[in-house]
Amino acid sequence: MIQSIRQMLALFSSEERFSFIWVLLAMLAMGFLQMVGVGVVLPFVSLLSNPASIHENASLEWVYAGMGFQTINGFLIFVGSALLVVLVASNIFTAYTLWLMTHFTWNVQKRISARLLSGYLHQPYEAFLNRNSADTGKNILIESQQFANGVLMPALKATAFGITVVMIIGFLLWLNPLLAIGVAAIFGCAYLGIYLTIRRSLLRIGSERMAANTERFQSVSESFGSIKEVKVTGREDAFLQRYSPAAGEFATAMAKSQVLAQIPKFAIEGLAFGLVMAAMLFLLATGSGVGDALPVASAFVVAGYRLLPALQNVYQGITQWRFNQSVMDTLYQDLVEKGADVTDTDKAQGGPASSTASVSARERLRFENEICLQGVSYRYPNAPANSLSDIDVRISKNSFVALTGTTGAGKTTLADLILGLLEPTEGSISVDGTRLTADNRRHWQANLGYVPQDIYLTDNSIAANIAYGIDSGSIDLAAVERAARIANIHDFIVDKLPEGYGTVVGERGVRLSGGQRQRIGIARALYHDPSVIVLDEATSALDNETERRIVDELDAMRGGRTLIVIAHRLTTVEKCHEVFLLRDGRVAARGSYEELVGGSAEFSALARASSD
């Protein structure tokens, strides 16, 4: 439990730790008012059982006379009304404290989800190679909510009502120590015994819920992510069959946890009634008359009325906390242990202080001569062998170069190194003699435009897709049009689309052809006017004629830009100044297209295959 508390506090920001102090003070005040609500019952019942005691008690007599009461009944009505006010005020403050706790909880959830997103986005590219995107999405959107509902709020309730329990029992100890110890021991042992019996089961069920939830998200994400294939091949039932068992396990785990959290309530309510009767008999057996026993018994009855829900909240909070321990372990691991934590609110929300903020043109790494890769090797995490070995490549500014080779030759890995997504295992990459490091990587990437093989288009306007990732209010429409004109798609947008650049393209750009999506991808890469454009098999999905036309357009638009094309089909590379042929992670040959066709049998075979 102590380790869990440390984990929870580690997930709080410094601002939230300060806010938690105010929440804790409200909890203490709530417990005190609950105790007062129990305590005021005793004198009121004493007055009801013996009204004459008003004149026997100096303080009561002073109030009675000072406020000008003429009858005892009038004074009793006044005391009863005051008692009612105290009880109502106690309940109102309890409601306020619960609101304060709830508000605090969901503020923490909001920031943790933002911290998770920020932490995942700030991770090196390598971290995404072996992690399922559905799992990260689940953690950001669902598990952060589960932390709020299943860990933080139950923990706060357990603390708040635990304080109330302690204060009420403290009052009962002052009232009748022996009886209070007996009541506390019986209630405490009952709840503690039940919790110790099921605590291991709660951890196991919680882990099962976590695993089932991951499986649910993956099956849904994969089914809709490949909806075309699912519909064409009629695989709807296959994905349903994968989803249903996971959904069943998830539902079973949730049901078990909720039942285990509620079971003691029904058993202990009967025990509470028996304890009230036993308390009355105990007071009578110790020689107290009915008149003397009634006030004490009434106080214990009201205390029981307050204690039962308080104890149930403590028990339920601890069981839910235990059940969701795996959630907190996951969040703690991702936010703290992996060093992905961003505690500053502005950073977590991607504000101006964020390290991912756009680098201005003035801050770009200087590139006037060449990109140089010297002795570069790279091995993916946990891979048995290098994907690239001893790569020596120089790419001059304003040149048009190609990386080619068969599947698995290392083309994309080499491009990812140039893009700064991966760091060499050995060797170095430098730009105009400046070695690329973690400190200047963002300044180098500000020079780059990237066009992947599969263009991801959001369900948004053409303009928003070209200015990808830019807030709608900050889009430079002139830059959007300039990029679209260079990519040769401006005329299509303004002449063929109903709302021009404001036309919504549909999820993944389903309303556009492959060539149109590719041109939007090129325009996106050009939006920030980069000096280097990397195309990773960006035309491989197009027919030969469309591919040839786009390559001609790329060569024509190059101007002062450096183009690096990763190509499997060699029709893309005929106009390149230099072609690097990769084989098994090494540069097997280099030269112009004509030189390689005449001097490399492997390249010549690839060229013939591409022209067929």
Tens-digit pLDDT profile for residues 477-490? 999 998 898 888 89
What local confidence, expressed as pLDDT, does residue 347 receive?
Answer: 43
What local confidence, expressed as pLDDT, does residue 301 receive?
Answer: 64
Tens-digit pLDDT profile for residues 413-440? 999 999 998 999 999 999 999 999 988 8
Residue 494, both tokens: 């303004």
Above 90 in pLDDT, residue 297? Answer: no
Could you tell me if residue 102 is inside a domain?
Answer: no
Q: What is the residue-averaged pLDDT of the chain?
A: 78
Distances (CA, A) of 163 to 12, 127, 166, 310: 22, 44, 5, 9
Mean pLDDT to the nearest integer, 104-118: 85
Distant-in-sequence contacts of 363-367, Cβ < 8 A, 24+ apart: 363/443, 363/446, 364/443, 364/444, 364/446, 364/447, 364/531, 365/431, 365/434, 365/440, 365/443, 365/444, 365/446, 365/447, 366/431, 366/432, 366/434, 367/397, 367/431, 367/432, 367/447, 367/531, 367/532
Using alpha carbons only, give the angle 263, 269, 275 rounded to the nearest 5 degrees.
135
If one counts the domains in the chain, the total is: 3
β-pair partners for 535:
451, 565
Could you tell me if residue 363 is inside a domain?
Answer: no
Mean pLDDT to the nearest integer, 492-519: 81
| Short-list 213, 211, 214, 207, CA closest to 324 | 207
518 plus 571 within the same structural domain = no
* Whether 152 contacts 110, CB under 8 Å: no
Domain CATH code at residue 151: 1.20.1560.10
Least confident of 279-293, 295-309, 339-353: 339-353
Could you tell me if residue 185 is inside a domain?
Answer: yes
Least confident of 14-23, 151-160, 300-309, 393-402: 300-309
315 plus 378 within the same structural domain = no
- What is the sign, positive or negative, of the torsion defined by CA atoms of 492, 498, 503, 504? negative
Residue 441, both tokens: 């990587």
17 phi and psi angles, rounded to 5 deg? -65, -40
- Beta-carbon count within 10 A of 321 CB: 25
Above 70 in pLDDT, residue 491? Answer: yes
Mean pLDDT to the nearest integer, 80-88: 80
Q: How confident is the model at residue 136 (pLDDT cuts 50, 70, 90)?
A: confident
C-alpha torsion angle, residues 84, 90, 95, 101 (rounded to 10): 180
CB neighbour list of residue 486: distance below 8 Å, 6 or more residues apart: 522, 523, 526, 557
Above 80 in pLDDT, residue 75? Answer: no
144 plus 239 within the same structural domain = yes
Mean pLDDT to the nearest integer, 548-577: 77
What local confidence, expressed as pLDDT, does residue 418 receive?
Answer: 93
Q: How confident is the model at residue 293 (pLDDT cuts 50, 70, 90)?
A: low
* Whether 510 contacts 465, CB under 8 Å: no
Mean pLDDT to the nearest integer, 532-560: 72
Q: How confident is the model at residue 59 (pLDDT cuts 50, 70, 90)?
A: low
417 plus 506 within the same structural domain = no
Among 348, 378, 401, identify where a domain stops: 348
Which is more confident, 560 or 509?
Answer: 560
185 plus 263 within the same structural domain = yes
> For the whole model, what pTM was predicted?
0.68
Mean pLDDT to the nearest integer, 532-539: 81
What 8-state DSSP symbol labels residue 436? Answer: P
Domain CATH code at residue 587: 3.40.50.300
304 plus 197 within the same structural domain = yes
Above 80 in pLDDT, residue 262? Answer: no
* Whether 565 contacts 402, CB under 8 Å: yes
Residue 539, both tokens: 């035309």
- Beta-carbon count within 10 A of 448 CB: 20
What range defines the domain where residue 170 resides? 2-13+112-348
249 plus 270 within the same structural domain = yes
What local confidence, expressed as pLDDT, does residue 414 receive?
Answer: 93
432 plus 474 within the same structural domain = no
DSSP string for residues in 488-524? T-HHHHHHHSTTGGG-B--GGGTTS-HHHHHHHHHHH
Q: What is the largest CA-CA distance in the chain?
A: 121
* Whether 149 contacts 327, CB under 8 Å: no
320 plus 306 within the same structural domain = yes
What local confidence, expressed as pLDDT, does residue 266 receive?
Answer: 62
What local confidence, expressed as pLDDT, does residue 352 receive?
Answer: 34
Q: Is 431 helix (H, G, I), strand (E, B) or coil?
A: strand
Which is more confident, 543 or 533?
Answer: 533
Q: Is 445 helix (H, G, I), strand (E, B) or coil?
A: helix
Quote the CA–CA distance of 207 and 220 in Å, as a whole number.
Answer: 20
What local confidence, expressed as pLDDT, does residue 286 receive?
Answer: 59
Q: How confident is the model at residue 118 (pLDDT cuts 50, 70, 90)?
A: confident
Could you tell me if residue 241 is inside a domain?
Answer: yes
What local confidence, expressed as pLDDT, does residue 351 receive?
Answer: 39
What local confidence, expressed as pLDDT, does residue 294 receive?
Answer: 56
Q: Is 410 helix (H, G, I), strand (E, B) or coil?
A: coil
What local confidence, expressed as pLDDT, does residue 268 receive?
Answer: 64
β-pair partners for 590:
580
* 434 burial via Cβ count (<10 Å: 0-12, 13-18, 19+): middle
Tens-digit pLDDT profile for residues 160-169? 888 888 888 8
Residue 401, both tokens: 């170069």
Mean pLDDT to the nearest integer, 267-274: 60
Mean pLDDT to the nearest integer, 400-420: 89
Tens-digit pLDDT profile for residues 201-235? 888 888 888 888 888 877 777 677 666 556 665 66
Tens-digit pLDDT profile for residues 175-198? 778 777 877 777 777 777 777 787
What local confidence, expressed as pLDDT, does residue 342 receive?
Answer: 43
CB neighbour list of residue 150: distance below 8 Å, 6 or more residues apart: 320, 321, 323, 324, 327
Mean pLDDT to the nearest integer, 50-64: 66
Over the range 7-34, which residues count as b (16 or more CB within 10 Å of their CB) and which as e?
bbeebbbeebeebbeebeebbeebbebb
Quote the CA–CA distance of 487 and 482 in Å, as a whole number.
Answer: 9
SS3 per residue for 349-383: CCCCCCCCCCCCHHHCCCCCCEEEEEEEEECCCCC
Which is more confident, 589 or 361?
Answer: 589
Using alpha carbons only, give the angle 369, 371, 376 rounded to the nearest 5 degrees.
155
What local confidence, expressed as pLDDT, does residue 346 receive?
Answer: 40
298 plus 176 within the same structural domain = yes
Above 70 in pLDDT, residue 271? Answer: no
Least confident of 33-42, 277-286, 320-329, 449-458: 277-286
Could you tell me if residue 362 is inside a domain?
Answer: no
Q: Is 5 helix (H, G, I), strand (E, B) or coil?
A: helix
What local confidence, expressed as pLDDT, does residue 83 receive?
Answer: 77
DSSP string for residues in 159-210? HHHHHHHHHHHHHHHHH-HHHHHHHHHHHHHHHHHHHHHHHHHHHHHHHHHH
Residue 68, both tokens: 């000008």
Above 70 in pLDDT, residue 243? Answer: yes
Could you tell me if residue 73 is inside a domain?
Answer: no
Question: How many CA atoms within 13 Å lie on the side-chain side of 217?
Answer: 17
Quote the CA–CA distance of 156 and 104 in Å, as a whole number.
Answer: 10
* Whether 44 contacts 80, CB under 8 Å: yes
Which is more confident, 241 or 508?
Answer: 241
Quote the CA–CA distance of 469 and 450 in Å, as a whole number.
Answer: 14
Mean pLDDT to the nearest integer, 289-302: 57
Residue 388, both tokens: 């690239």
Tens-digit pLDDT profile for residues 322-376? 888 888 787 877 777 655 444 444 444 433 333 334 555 557 888 889 999 999 9
Highest mean pLDDT among 96-105, 111-120, 341-350, 556-565: 96-105
- Pairing assessment for the beta strands 562-567 and 400-404 based on DSSP bridges: parallel
What local confidence, expressed as pLDDT, does residue 230 receive?
Answer: 66
526 plus 536 within the same structural domain = no
What local confidence, expressed as pLDDT, does residue 71 receive?
Answer: 76
359 phi and psi angles, rounded to 5 deg? -90, 130
Q: What percent of the chain is modeled with pLDDT above 90?
A: 12
Above 90 in pLDDT, residue 389? Answer: yes
374 phi and psi angles, rounded to 5 deg? -120, 120
267 plus 381 within the same structural domain = no
SS3 per residue for 237-285: HHHHHHHHHHHHHHHHHHHHHHHHHHHHHHHHHHHHHHHHHHHHHHHHH
